[in-house]
Amino acid sequence: MPQTARGAGPPPLPPRPSPPLRPAPPEDDTRLRGCLVAAAVVAVGGVVMAALLAAIAIPAYNDYRLRSEVARALADAASLKPRLEAFVRANGRCPGAGDPGFAAADMPGGPASRQVRIGDGAHGTCRIDVVLRGTPGGPLDGRRLRLEYDPGPAQWRCRGEVHDRHLPAHCRA
């Protein structure tokens, strides 16, 4: 037999086949769960913040609306002030409903005032009474505002049956 090169011989056996691959373990979805939890926390926090802002803003808006209705009613009655002052200077007394310019038809009504009346007040003063028109059953409906004119010092005073926070500063007790 002839000699062969060293290491020659039959070819090596193929490597043993590797065992079949196991399916990959499922992806770790903790990242996804963490994002969902974070999104839920942000959403709940947003709802809480919106509720907090609404709890502050809604009562503040209602107070603003009531103050503006009272101010509008006072503005309706303010147009009578110069006429009343002139009448008192000319006649030495307060006007009544039968005096020219002070009949019920001449009284300024408006969206905020249901009725305006003029009459004698206490201690020689003249008064303008305004009955407010508000939401039926609301805090202003049927309440009265009174403007009193004292001819001695020629001063006006204001007061009302509504809560002080709804009155202008010069009308508060």
| Per-residue pLDDT tens over the stretch 11-69 | 888 888 777 777 766 666 666 778 888 899 999 999 999 999 999 999 999 999 999 99
Instruction: Output the 3-class SS for 28-66.
Output: CCHHHHHHHHHHHHHHHHHHHHHHHHHHHHHHHHHHHHH
What total of structural domains would you count in the chain?
Answer: 1
Instruction: Classify residue 145: in a domain, yes or no.
Output: yes
Instruction: Classify residue 72: in a domain, yes or no.
Output: yes
- CATH code for the domain of 76: 3.30.700.10
Task: Quote the percentage of the chain above a pLDDT of 90.
Answer: 27
pLDDT for res 62: 92
Instruction: Classify residue 13: in a domain, yes or no.
Output: no
Instruction: Classify residue 107: in a domain, yes or no.
Output: yes
Mean pLDDT of 145-157: 90
| Per-residue pLDDT tens over the stretch 64-86 | 999 999 998 888 888 889 989 99
Instruction: Classify residue 134: in a domain, yes or no.
Output: yes
